Amino acid sequence: MNDTRPVKSDSAKAVPTLPDAQTVTSVRHWTDRLFSFRVTRPRSLRFRSGEFVMIGLMGDTGKPLLRAYSIASPAWDEELEFYSIKVPDGPLTSRLQHIRPGDQIILRPKPVGTLVLDALLPGKRLWLFATGTGIAPFASLMRDPDTYERYDEVIMMHTCRDLAELDYGRELVEGLPDDPLIGEIVAGKLRYYPTTTREQSPFMGRITDNLRTGKVFADLGLPPMSPETDRGMVCGSLQFNKDIMAILETFGLREGANSEPREYVVEKAFVG
Ligand SMILES: Cc1cc2nc3c(=O)[nH]c(=O)nc-3n(C[C@H](O)[C@H](O)[C@H](O)COP(=O)(O)OP(=O)(O)OC[C@H]3O[C@@H](n4cnc5c(N)ncnc54)[C@H](O)[C@@H]3O)c2cc1C
Ligand SMILES: NC(=O)c1ccc[n+]([C@@H]2O[C@H](COP(=O)([O-])OP(=O)(O)OC[C@H]3O[C@@H](n4cnc5c(N)ncnc54)[C@H](OP(=O)(O)O)[C@@H]3O)[C@@H](O)[C@H]2O)c1
């Protein structure tokens, strides 16, 4: 007699063995310090673009080794994308950098964070300020139609030491106009201002210096930031965040939060 039992599909075979397991679907290495990867998305996971979750691997002691990671993909994407540093002796990333498609990671489905549109008052222009992997939450926000519904113009300033470290953001921004889902919405509204600080490139200098001197306003043909029209989101090292907050305050912008929306919001790209 023929066996009429249903044949299990490949996905049915991939039984999660980790708590909150998600499966890696693709990995791309950008430099020897940076990589991005995509994982399956828990069906129940809802998040606001710009938020972060805890992800990780099982530690040697049998306890999950988790770190905060900004979700780099937009809320409408059926997978989740992350953009990561590789810290040579970092407890998590010394191992995470070796993941391959089909591997599993742990993802705690509790998104939180301050870099959300709801924490800002309405305005005309939205400035996104990032150093290094701090571009990750903005990779999500730049792909969210809501960002362009709320603002006439979005300006992405990203600074890294070297040109190769800008590639993830550059490829994303350059591909957006051709995106079948949001290309039309983004067209003409997203301005991109990448700079390097160590390697020679057409645009150089720290974000803070380019704001203080007014170079970025002159280059983009925009007036200096003002609390009436401009909003800011900041994501970088602790010192970068402190320095840029001081500058934004001189323009008259005040820090906001989910509970009290104002003119700018800040989040650390890493601790330390
Ligand atoms: C809210 C929040 C969101 C974060 N989102 C991301 C993200 O999207 N992508 C990401 O790569 N990291 C992100 N991080 C940092 C992340 O949580 C880990 O620190 C990082 O993955 C390294 O983990 P580790 O265990 O290998 O080393 P850790 O022991 O965690 O870090 C070792 C040292 O490496 C340096 N370091 C850590 N992370 C970075 C980084 N991203 N860039 C430069 N230097 C770093 C610091 O000096 C730190 O003290 C985020 C951190 C916070 C607080
Ligand atoms: N990137 C690398 O090639 C590299 C290699 C080995 C080790 N590391 C280590 O890894 C850690 C993180 O490196 P990272 O390059 O990701 O981050 P980073 O050192 O914070 O630098 C990222 C970018 O932000 C700029 N920046 C730093 N502090 C700033 C501030 N207060 N105001 C304005 N701009 C600021 C830097 O400019 P400046 O260049 O002017 O500082 C650089 O262009 C550091 O401890 C670093 O020593 C980095």
Residue nearest to atom 10 of ligand 1 (CA): 84
Question: Ligand 2, atom 5: nearest CA belongs to which residue?
Answer: 33
Q: How many domains does the chain have?
A: 2
List the domain range (segments joined by +) for residue 77.
Answer: 19-112
Which residue's C-alpha comes closest to atom 7 of ligand 1?
A: 69
Please give the pLDDT value at position 126.
98
Rounded to the nearest angstrom, the distance between the alpha carbon of 25 and the centre of ligand 1 is: 22
Cα three-residue angle 137-202-196, rounded to 5 degrees: 45
Is residue 122 one of the residues assigned to a domain?
yes
Dump strand ranges (E) for the chain.
21-29, 34-40, 52-58, 64-70, 79-85, 104-112, 125-131, 153-160, 190-196, 230-236, 264-268
Residue 3 lies in a domain: no
- Examine the domain organization and report whether 30 and 76 are in the same domain: yes
Q: Residue 8 domain-assigned? A: no
**Residue 174 CA, ligand 1 centroid: distance in Å:** 26
Could you tell me if 95 and 195 lie in one domain?
no
Nearest ligand to residue 86 Cα: 1
Q: What's the pTM? A: 0.94
Strand, helix or coil at 102? coil
- Ligand 1 centre distance from Cα of residue 123 (Å): 31
What's the order of all strands across the beta sheet hosting 125-131? 190-196, 153-160, 125-131, 230-236, 264-268
- pLDDT single digits (tens) 29-53: 999 999 999 999 999 999 999 999 9
> Looking at the structure, do residues 181 and 200 belong to the same domain, yes or no?
yes
Domain boundary among 83, 112, 141: 112
Q: What is the CATH number of the domain that holds 27?
A: 2.40.30.10
pLDDT digits (tens, 9 = 90+) for 205-257: 999 999 999 999 999 999 999 999 999 999 999 999 999 999 999 999 999 99
CA of 247, nearest ligand number:
2
pLDDT tens digits, one per residue of 246-271 = 999 999 999 999 999 999 999 999 99
Residue finishing a domain among 63, 89, 112: 112
